[in-house]
Amino acid sequence: MVWFGLAQPTYTGLMRKIAAIVLAAGSSRRLGEPKQLLDWGGRPMLDVVVDRAKAWPVDQVWVVLGACAEDILERCQLDNVNIVINDDYDEGLASSLRVGLDALMRSGAQIDGVFVALGDQPFIDPEVVELMADRYEMSTAKALVPKYRYTFGNPVLVDESLWPRLMSLEGDVGAQKLLKAHPEWVEEVWVEKLPPRDVDTAADVEELTPRSAH
């Protein structure tokens, strides 16, 4: 694991401190090229995802890189975020979640909860994130999960009390596998929207790529 710096807080409006971890270490096997660097309206897709995460109600943004990390760092403008390199990205998504949470805890930052987001989901609605952050202020649940028209989606918001359990996951699984196994830990946040799409294949790129990025 390699960790670069500690970025300055981006938001201080809530009493409970929240960070965002963007998991972007994958090798994009299904696509055949680094999806992080896809032209997304004139910018690399990861730039768009990270900039949107920086606008969320969070105090810090952490980005976990792995495959093609040098090219991504060279071509993306990942300013004012914390960069972590996962050398074991081939082990699957759980390894990136583990590396990101470990770096966050080792940083000594006073963070109460973390949004877990995926680097290939550029369409997460900021209103959903705002709703979850507001609900977290009053919630006693260990995790909040958006439920988009009866379907769980991202990003999940996980309280620090659950981080050690997340770090015990293995393979190509994220937080949702653990949370589905323990519904008693979860508060569902119902959303009257469609869940955000992943960009995994050439067909996804053709269908979803915008003409301009915002």
Q: Please indicate, yes or no, if residue 214 is contained in any of the structural domains.
A: no
Host domain of residue 147: 2-208
Within 13 A of 194's CA, how many CA atoms are on the CB side?
A: 5
91 within domain boundaries: yes
Does pTM top 0.85 for this prediction?
A: yes
Give me the pLDDT at residue 209, please: 77
Of 196, 37, 21, 153, residue with least CA distance to 96: 21
Going by C-alpha positions, the residue among 67, 84, 79, 80 that lies closest to residue 25 is 67
Whether 37 shows a pLDDT value over 80: the answer reads: yes
Burial-class residue 109 by CB neighbours within 10 Å (0-12, 13-18, 19+): middle
Mean pLDDT over all residues of the chain?
Answer: 88
Domain containing residue 96: CATH number: 3.90.550.10
Residue 111 contacts residue 162 (beta carbons within 8 Å): no
C-beta of residue 67 within 8 angstroms of C-beta of residue 24: no
Number of domains in the chain: 1
pLDDT tens track for 116-142 = 999 999 999 999 999 999 999 999 999
Q: Please report whether residue 213 resides in a domain.
A: no
Whether 124 is covered by a domain: the verdict is yes
